[in-house]
Amino acid sequence: MEFTPAHAMDGMHTRMIAACVSVAIASMTSVADTPRCATTVVRYTAGSGAGGSYQHPASALGPPTRFTGVGMEPGAVTPFRPAFMPSEIVSIGRGGELVIAFEEPIVDDASHPFGVDLIVYGNAMCGDIGYPGGVAGWVFTEGGSIDLSIDGVTWFTVPNAIADGGLPTLGWTDVAPYSTAPGTLPTDPALPIDPQITADSIAGLSWQELLALYGNSAGGTRIDLADAGIAAARFIRIRVAVDAASVPEVDAVVAVHATRLMGDLNNDNRVNGIDLGMLLGTWGPCADCPGDMNHDGQVGGNDLGMMLGNWS
């Protein structure tokens, strides 16, 4: 079916769509496309073995790194090439700890994909048994236990969670294993992969199989607050034992967003005229737009069809 743009419609339809676009533009800032990340360093103790140039705890704030090595060995972050610059990751060291906090609490929410509420990004990486084609071998992990707290005083440990030991980070969905340029389709660091998929699960997968497994997710260590027996948390503490075999690094901690109804561009749990107005307002080529639901770099008929399929 060919879509007729607004300027070719009759006056009534044109005015109706223009009104929707006007409302949508006014509410654009409510769209939760930017991941909610830790914003404050509360306490940091480097510990032994922490690299001298990697003792900047603010490196763990904000979203995970997508492109690393600028000025040295630039490349897209993939499971085969993790973030490695001092401005991107912080090293904790044996006997050390890092405590960071969110502005607002993260809650245990069943509407989060797979029940995951929080994702911790380290700089774990895959060995490449098919270099340079990208075939996942072993995954280098470096440990770090994770504790959660609502008040920064009483702590709850997340069992079996490893800060620098989840799925290696993927920054873009349209890059090669060792791309030296950024991609155009960024992954969503607030969207988790099924927790049943572990580092062991990806062994032997080809690059295309890895991309299919990740989908639009970025990887990381996935945490359900319920596993720690806590309903909400604002503080995250990562500790390393004094006799640990390895020294972990942390890149970011991100709150998971609730599953969005396809086509619900303003995140109000309905698909209606406001969402249609937002989609039409960005019609055509548009990189990383909410209306580009099939992530092809265009807001077009396919996206309109997906929206209409969930109209409410």
pLDDT in tens, 236-250: 999 999 999 999 999
Give the DSSP per-residue string, 36-80.
EE--EEEEEE--BT--GGG--GGGGSSSPPSEE-TTTS-EE-BTT
How much is the pLDDT for 209? 97
End-to-end CA distance of the chain: 21
Q: Per-residue pLDDT tens for 137-178?
A: 999 999 999 999 999 999 999 999 999 999 999 999 999 999
Please identify every stretch of the chain with a pLDDT value under 50, giving residue numbers as ranges: 1-32
Q: Tokens 């109209």 belong to which residue?
A: 311
**pLDDT given at position 102:** 98
List the domain boundaries for the chain: 6-31+262-308, 36-255
Report the C-alpha gap between 45 and 99 in whole angstroms. 9
**Model pTM score:** 0.76
Q: What is the pLDDT of residue 207?
A: 98
CA 276/CA 165 separation, integer angstroms: 41
Q: Which amino acid is at 19?
A: A
Supply the pLDDT for residue 13.
37
Q: Kindly tell me the sign of the dihedral angle through the C-alpha atoms of 90, 98, 64, 170.
A: positive
Q: How many helices (H) and strands (E) does the chain have?
A: 4, 17
Strands 75-76 and 156-157, sheet pairing:
unpaired
Whole-number Å distance between alpha carbons of 297 and 277: 18
Whole-number pLDDT of residue 294? 77
